[in-house]
Amino acid sequence: MSLKGINKQYHLGRDSGSQKYNKLNTSKTYSNAILIGSVSFICFYIIAAIIYPYSFNPLNNFFCDLTPASFGCENTSNPAFFPSLLTILSMSIVLAFFFFSFANQSSESLLSKRLIKFFGSISSFCTFCIGIYDLHDQALILAIATGIIPMAIITSTILKNRKRYFPILGLITCSLLTFYVSIFYLEFSEPIWPIMQKITIILSLIWINLIVLKNKSTSSLF
């Protein structure tokens, strides 16, 4: 083999190794962001619930009940306002990095990956806007509407790769999320809405982090 051919193979191998290294670094960054965001969500939520000026019962109240900046005609400031915003910001960060991480690691087509990232990003941003009291209703509708497309692709991917994505927990989570959104907008079984909200969020965080930890341990083997 000529010197030119050897040199070409060397550069191709180096470029391939560099791309693999960068991909692993990106994957670790996404994983760390998801794990930190999940822990931050729990911590800020507990803080917001504790310092909320009125009695906050997770069984009867929604997360958004913590987010008004003030109360009543006297505009009494809400001490839980800032930590509640950080709670929802943490959740939106978890969702955004999850959509990107899932798209990068899935075997779906390039179009499917781009759809997950594009609509997932919009849905994540709208999720944060839910915490802005005046934008709550509009942001909630947009977050759900734009989240349908990436979640549909993710559900399809789970069914095709059952050994990789904890399919039972994933399908239970997606089913409960669909059920909760349906009964909420159909105004059915109103008393269970707050607890259903908590269950779907907790299951989502558990499922997302299980996927992250599994992929993180797999990546460390290479």
Token pair of 152 as six digits: 């549909």
For residue 14, being part of any structural domain is answered with no
Nearest to 102 by CA among 154, 148, 149: 154
For residue 18, being part of any structural domain is answered with no
Token pair of 146 as six digits: 């734009």
For residue 98, being part of any structural domain is answered with yes
For residue 42, being part of any structural domain is answered with yes
**171 vs 8: CA distance, rounded Å:** 47
Q: Tens-digit pLDDT profile for the chain (222 aa)?
A: 555 555 545 444 554 555 554 555 677 888 889 999 999 999 999 999 999 988 888 888 888 888 888 876 677 888 999 999 999 999 999 999 999 988 888 777 889 999 999 999 999 999 999 888 788 889 999 999 999 999 999 888 888 876 677 788 888 888 898 899 899 888 888 889 999 999 999 999 999 998 888 766 555 544
For residue 23, being part of any structural domain is answered with no
| Residue-range definition of the domain harbouring residue 186 | 30-214
How does DSSP classify residue 79? T
Nearest to 98 by CA among 208, 23, 220, 216: 208
- Total number of domains in the chain: 1
pTM value is 0.82
Nearest to 177 by CA among 152, 157, 160, 159: 152
